[in-house]
Structures are given as structure tokens and as C-alpha cells.
Amino acid sequence: MLLHPLFMDVTEHPNVVANLLCYGNVFVPYTKQTGDMFYISTKDLCDGGELFNYICPTTPPYVRPFSQDSSRRLFRQICAGVAHMHNLGCYHRDLKLENLVLDGEFNAKIMDFGSVKFKDQMEEVVDNDGNVQTVTSTYTGIGTRGYKPKELVTGDYYDPAPYDVWSTGVMLFFVVAGDHIFNLLGGKNCFRLFEFMVTPNPDPRYAKYTKMLSKKNEIDAMTGAPPHTNFWAMFPDFAPSEELKDLINRFLDQDPARRISFAEVTEHEWFAVPDDPDKTKYFEEMRSRPTSMSRDQVMKVPAKSFQQAIEMLVRCSVAGLDNPEAFDVHADRVEFGRDELGESMYSVIVQEKAPMQYTYTCQWIAGDLGSWLEFIRSLKKQLTELLMPAK
């Protein structure tokens, strides 16, 4: 797949993680081995980690949906990236929340291309109506349960383009209403709802879910989309906008031939609302989520006194950690950086844990994730140089 002549074009899009297939002498820190090998390299530093972790934190409430504005911003980027892939005849076939990553400014990028299929690798078949279709029949090891449409679990030939559309619809519903699914099925089965809906011979305990989506021939005369009446009735407390509801209905059309395409998705009226150019609210929402990247960073430092621990932070700033004028010293902490309103961006709190042993708890207050992580890296570097014994 990486050797396909179009793959480099696929990864040129800003919402697709760039990948290069390289060969050379590599040292693997984990195994301590060195050798000549093929490896994948990327220029994209996806500081933000997986989108999944922003929706499903490890602490209560365990599933946190996004606001509609933030969801729209994310999925505008995701859909643009997949549309670019489809325009090149490239189909992902494993779109899921774990395969979407974020950069330092919380822009979404698509990754993990191990299941990609290119159109020139597919075959042509004639359907019952005499129409020629370009399809594939690869099932083994492809995709993730819970994100697969019915045509992928029945064993027939399938078109991978509407498969990607279905998977994106599943992701969108989790992003905007994952807490409602969690309340319905609990944590164990939370991500299996759509699997239950398309399984031909389901577990009797979940058989009722196979009747929740509209049948192939069931279409709303006004919208031209399946209404999914029973599906929406499962979530009486979820009230999406009519535009969002219509888009999800079209994503989850059980007829792959009629399912919305990504060319149509990017033109859908839900995306007619432009993103706010001021990302302040968006950044605040992302920072509020306790992901591994945004949690408070804690560092242990030796110091003779509380005052010396404070002074070490000041020395780090003067040594190049930040603008020397952009820090405030308080009794128990030092605040660094300035946002556009002149407010502090980071706070480093000092606590005594034992005699001559202190901790710095670094808290992210404002700004983007990339700047925050750069602050942490710089602080660690300056502290290391400060604490190293003179030669």
C-alpha cells in the first residue's frame, strides 16, 4: 500500500497523517537492537493523541460528547480528508475514533492505513440490474466491529466508499451523543450498538436493535433519506439540530448505493455554519478533557528550601524558558506566559513532599496544546541543566 504510486498524493492533505516508507539502519530503544529495516516515518507531530481519549476519559463520566460547534469543526476536517482520499480512488476501510489524531492546535488528522484499498486493486462485477460496479471482497482483518455496515458482515462483494461513509457516521454519532449510548448499554457494550444493529444473527439479548434502523426501502418522502424513527426514539433526551439529524440519517442509510457520498457530505447544510475563527472556546473545550496529554504534569526537584524551589523556576524563565518579563511570582507558585488578554497561560505550583524534596505541578490554563507541550519540554530542559553538577 505504501508503495502505491498514489499514496504520496493521499498524504499531502492537511487532515491526513503524512507517511513515508523508509529503509536504513535503525536502533530500536525497546529491544536495544540495531539493524537494517523498513520503517514508516512521518513529519506530523500529533501532539494531541487520539480523538478517542477526548471522548472517553478514564474518570467519570467516562463518555463526554462534544458540543455541536466543536463536533462540526472536527468533522469538517475529517470529512475533507476522507473526501480527498476518495477523490484519488483510495479507501481507508478502518475509520474509527482511535484512528483519528490531533495536532497541537487540535486539528484532526486521519492515520493508520493498513487496511487501505485503491480502486485499481479492486474488481468489476455486474449487479442484478446489469450495472457495472467496482468492488472488493476482502473481509479478513479489515475494519473494526462496531464501525462496519451490514454489507460488510453478510459476506458479499462491497463498495469500500460507502463503507467509509458509514464508519464516519458512526463516529459522528459517538462524538455528539456517546453519553446517551453509554446510558443505554453501559460501558461494556457502549461501542457495540451499531454492531448489534447490523448483525444478521444477533445474540437474543440484543436482537431488538436490528429493528432500530430504517429498512433499505424505507425513505422519508420529504427529505429523501431514511427516517430511522425507532433509532432516534431510543434517545429521547438527545435533541440534535434538524441538519445534524438529517446528516446522520444519510450516513447510516442501510442501502450502500443510496448512502450519501463524501462529495455530498462536504456540501451538506450542517456544514454551512462556518467555524468561529476565534478558537478560544474550542481550545477551552479541548483543554477541559482530562487526556494523557493535557493532565497536570508533575516534576520532582531537589532544593534546600521552599524559597529556593521558587527561585529555580524564576531562573529557568530568565534562562530562556519564556519571555523573562512574562512571569508572576506568588507565594506557592510561578505563573508563566501571556495570552492575548494578558492572562497567565501556565501555572507551576510548588509543594514540599519531604525535607529538601519538592514537586512542581504544572497546570495548563490557556493556549493551544502544542505551546503547552513545548513549555513542558523547555521547563524540563532548563531544570535539567540547572540541576546538573558543574564539571
Model confidence pLDDT, tens digit, residues 206-256: 999 999 999 999 999 999 999 999 999 999 999 999 999 999 999 999 999
Number of domain units in the chain: 2
| pLDDT on residue 319 | 65
Asked if residue 184 is part of any domain, the answer here is: yes
Q: Alpha-carbon distance 11 to 13, whole Å?
A: 5
Domain CATH code at residue 234? 1.10.510.10
Q: Which stretch, 15-19, 29-33, 129-133, has highest mean pLDDT?
A: 15-19
111/44: higher pLDDT? 111
Checking if the pLDDT of 320 tops 80, the result is no
**If we measure between CA atoms, which residue out of 71, 98, 99 comes closest to residue 85?**
99
Domain CATH code at residue 305? 3.30.310.80
Q: Alpha-carbon distance 316 to 357, whole Å?
A: 18
pTM above 0.75, yes or no: yes
Beta carbons within 8 Å of 325's beta carbon, 6+ residues apart: none
Q: Alpha-carbon distance 142 to 359, whole Å?
A: 47
**If we measure between CA atoms, which residue out of 191, 389, 367, 180 comes closest to residue 284?**
367
Total Cβ atoms within 10 A of residue 285: 17
337/246: higher pLDDT? 246
Total Cβ atoms within 10 A of residue 317: 23
Asked if residue 31 is part of any domain, the answer here is: no
Domain finish residue from 285, 306, 334: 285
Buried b (16+ CB within 10 A) or exposed e, 142-174: bbbebbbbbbbbeeeebbbbbbbbbbbbbbbbb
**If we measure between CA atoms, which residue out of 217, 268, 221, 260 comes closest to residue 241?**
268
Q: Alpha-carbon distance 308 to 356, whole Å?
A: 10
Asked if residue 257 is part of any domain, the answer here is: yes
Residue-number span of the structural domain to which 320 is assigned: 296-387
Q: How confident is the model at residue 391 (pLDDT cuts 50, 70, 90)?
A: very low
Residue 233 in contact with residue 245, Cβ under 8 Å?
no
Domain finish residue from 240, 255, 285: 285
- Per-residue pLDDT of 278-307, as tens digits, reads 998 998 898 888 665 566 678 889 999 999
